[in-house]
Structure 1
Amino acid sequence: MHHPLILPMATHVLLSAFLYVLLTVARAPKIWGIGKRADGSNPWAAFEPRISANLSNQFEWPLFFHIACLLFIVSGSGDPKVVTLSWVFILGRVVHSLVQILSNNVRVRGLVFTINFLAVIALWAMML
């Protein structure tokens, strides 16, 4: 049987992999000439820097999420509160990605990040 924290961790890996694919598609017209508009422009030009920035974000604060999860797994803790906080974090990361890529609304993105931030802080606090 798998530890209940593996699935939220794997979901974040899948989100990151999806963002790599999305970034590749967004860069295809510029790099390979695939999908260019008739005028030669890249239809994804406005989204490419947002996707790239969001992908970079997946390797910043989420690092602390993964470390916390690993510590809970090693300790054998399967506390439902920990699992719930993990899913709150993952759902927040998905919403954060959508906001950053589709709207670039910094105020909403900041609010969503705060939820992610607090979820990870709560995970670490539960470890103490």
Structure 2
Amino acid sequence: MENNLIFAPVALQVALTLWLYIALAIAKSGATKRGEVNEERRALHDDAWPDSVLKINNNIRNQFELPMLFYVLVIVLWSMDAVNTYVHISAWAFVVSRIVHMTVHTGSNYVPLRRRVFMLGGFILIGLVGFLAYKLITG
């Protein structure tokens, strides 16, 4: 398998984050037009915005948590020439978990499901860290 293909799920994760920024701009514009925003508080206070905006905004924050570790792991594994089928499958599974997490978070926001999906992504990253440790130990 081509090692550089490991950047395809990375590109999709980046696209997901950029899509959320676009969705946030659209949601904020709509909320403002509908008069759902406390104009006096909007510059500094999240509570000035309706829940529909807050869900997207909070999910954007999540895109700078686990995904940052994902980016680092992929770059390190790629630079070590340690990308294999396991890494590819794990990378795609992680990104799919992030898409599902985003869908739940910005939709129903059902916390028990959102937590399980978040934890799945975390366990995938733990597996990649374990693989990286194995590669570092065994050379």
TM-score for the superposition, normalised by structure 1: 0.87
Paired position in structure 2 for 1:66: 71
Q: 4+ residue stretches of structure 1 with deviation over 3 A?
A: none
Q: For residues 79 and 19 of structure 1, what CA distance do their matches in structure 2 show? A: 30
Answer 1 or 2: which has greater helix percent: 2
CA contact (8 A) 1:26 1:45 kept: no
Deviation string for 1:82-116 (max 9, x for gaps)?
01000110000000000011011000001101110
Deviates more, 1:49-58 or 1:69-78: 69-78
Paired position in structure 2 for 1:45: 50
Deviation string for 1:47-91 (max 9, x for gaps)?
100000000000011111110000011011221000100011000
TM-score for the superposition, normalised by structure 2: 0.81
CA contact (8 A) 2:3 2:83 kept: no
1:108 aligned to which of 109, 113, 118: 113
2:60 aligned to which of 38, 41, 55: 55
CA contact (8 A) 2:56 2:106 kept: yes
Number of residues of Structure 1 aligned to a counterpart in Structure 2: 121
Q: CA deviation at 1:2?
A: 6.4
Helix, strand or coil at the partner of 2:5: coil
- Unmatched 5+ stretches in structure 2: 38-48, 134-139
Q: For residues 51 and 72 of structure 2, what CA distance do their matches in structure 1 show? A: 34
What are the equivalent positions in structure 2 for 1:14-93 lying under 5 Å apart?
14-31=15-32, 33=33, 36=34, 40-41=35-36, 45-93=50-98
Helix, strand or coil at the partner of 2:82: coil
Q: CA deviation at 1:29?
A: 3.2
Q: CA deviation at 1:30?
A: 4.5
CA contact (8 A) 1:4 1:78 kept: no
- Unmatched 5+ stretches in structure 1: none
